[in-house]
Structure 1
């Protein structure tokens, strides 16, 4: 579990592909003595397991699921990536609860200056928009951000100078693809309220359902 506060901007040192999976090595300023074999590190918001470390870098395997659902598979050697180590129970929850399990790839539709902040409008599959609410939280490439506006197919966030300078968003422009993780609490609430047998993403509260259950 993570909190969406980026610790370091790492650099992709090596990406060894093997079929639909791969192994990445990331250079980082995180002290090697603080890294533990098998620990979780979020790379652009993707939870990965450390399988080796040393010489100022760590290595992690990337599954076919992660390559297919995230922007990790589109990165080239030298690319910068957002890094965050797993949350400790004693830490302050400065962002929001982030699992490191990316829901979808978003595409930046617009980047514009908005006084002291940069406002990004990001398009996302409509099936995921149900989990976003205005003033709620969303993770964009692992960065905890507040949702400022929501439509049927996009949402907007404002990024302050501090966050922009310390994350990969400083290099993102219209057309850039970013990893999106919606609020995990919303998914659990939807699952608990879903009638038995109902399919995810389908309208559950219908006139037929209300009639069958004695509400009409």
Structure 2
């Protein structure tokens, strides 16, 4: 059995994710694969990604990976990164496409003009937002979870995205960040943990999260 399968659907930082996992789990069998059967047999599954949601879903279908990814998300430790988070939701404003429908909610685009925000953000109505949101942001944990073990509650992680998830079930939000208003940047549901940021690019905090994932045994 493959310990960890990293799903290759033609998008994402596959090498960076693989190298980061090899660093935190040197004894694990880690495979980058586009073979649905390998994904099915794996003990743990990681779905990274960068790019557009319509392209992501199309490639999953074309490579026969959609069913294997959905089965993994419902049956084994599953980590989604960036688009790997967004694809889990019901729908996305990016291309007005349907997602996998595993986590209830919608993927929204950042407003090109900021809404009025709290005074501590230093943002006033009419201030322009840079889209995509790119760079280091504090991640505020909003729920206890094994993947946060040893990670400070306001640790900084690296983001690159133009869209964010809007949860229909707020109890599944595991963390939030600000740009400039709060947005969900991590969700937890049963055996699923998925993040908008890139742990493979987030130095010590990111490596800690990946190490926790390798050791995680969902109830």
Q: TM-score, normalised by structure 2?
A: 0.27
As a proportion of its length, which structure holds more strand? 1
As a proportion of its length, which structure holds more helix? 2
